[in-house]
Amino acid sequence: MEKILIVDDERDITQYCEMYLKQQGYDVKGAVNSEQAFAALETFNPDILILDINLREKYTGFDVLKKALQLNPQAKAVMLTGYGEDILLNDSLRQGARQAIVKPITVEKLLEVIKSL
């Protein structure tokens, strides 16, 4: 069973994603800040990461991505942003993410992206 870590400062997003993806048969863990995310990287060791870029704190989704790839270079990441700026999306791909998506998206779209990784 693939393990997915969802990191978003919006608790509802992590919660609904977690619930939905569990329904789809994934082992899912949610984190609402970088501290929880870094801890989860150590303890949970996810295969897939769904990371919001802007966590509205000291660290960004890029920092979590960097750490995740250090710990597990095989980890696959999807970056999410509410800004919709090309530059952020391009940066995501440059920093090792497999996909970058602009919010909002449907759960099916999210699942489709995860499956395509």
Partner 1 sequence: MTVYSFSSAIAFIICLTLSAFVFFKRRESAQNRFFVFVTLLIGIWCLFPVVTHTITDQASALFWGRVIYLFALVVPAVFLNFILIAIGLNNEKVQRRIVKLAYILFFLFSIVSFNPLFINNIKHMREYAVVVPGPLYHLFVLFFGIMCLYAFYNLIMQYRLAEHSSKNRLRYLLVGFVIAYIGGILHFIPAYIGVEPIPHDILLVMYTLIIFYAIVRHNLMDIEVVIKKTLIFSVFFIVTFGVFVIVTLLTQQITDGKLLGLALSSMIIIITARPIENLLVRLTDKYLFQKKYDYQHVIEIFLDDVITEMNLNKIISRTLELFDKTLRPVNPLIFVRNGVKDRLVAHSSAGEVINVIATMDSPLVEYLKRHKNIVSIEEKTAGDPDTAVVEEMKKNNAILAIPLMTRDDFIGFMLLGKKKSDMAYSTVDMSILNDLARTEAIALKNAEYIDELNALYAEKLQAKVKTELAAMADGMSHQFNNRFMVIAMALGYARNALTKISEGFSDAEKEKVNSCIESVSRAEKSAVTGGEIARGLLNFSRPDKVGFKMVNVAETVDQALQMVEYKHPDFSRLEKIKTIQPGIPLTWANLTYIQEMYFIVFDNAYDAIQSKLLDDPDFKGKIDVSVACEDDKKTVSITVKDNGIGMTSDILEKVKEAIPYVTTKVSSGKSGYGAGVHILKRLVEFHKGRIDYETLYGEGTAVKISMPVCDEPQSA
Which parts of this chain interact with partner 1 (CB under 8 A)? 10, 12-13, 16-17, 19-20, 23, 54, 80, 82-86, 102-108
**CB closer to partner 1, 72 vs 102:** 102
To partner 1, the closest distance from the beta carbon of 83 in angstroms equals: 5
**CB closer to partner 1, 17 vs 69:** 17
- 3-state class (DSSP) for residue 92: helix
Dihedral of CA atoms 18, 109, 45, 57 in degrees, nearest 10, equals -80
Here the tokens at position 51 are 């990371």
**CB closer to partner 1, 2 vs 10:** 10
For residue 89, give Cα distances in angstroms to 3, 31, 100: 24, 21, 6
To partner 1, the closest distance from the beta carbon of 5 in angstroms equals: 16
To partner 1, the closest distance from the beta carbon of 19 in angstroms equals: 5
C-beta neighbour count of 25 within 10 angstroms = 9
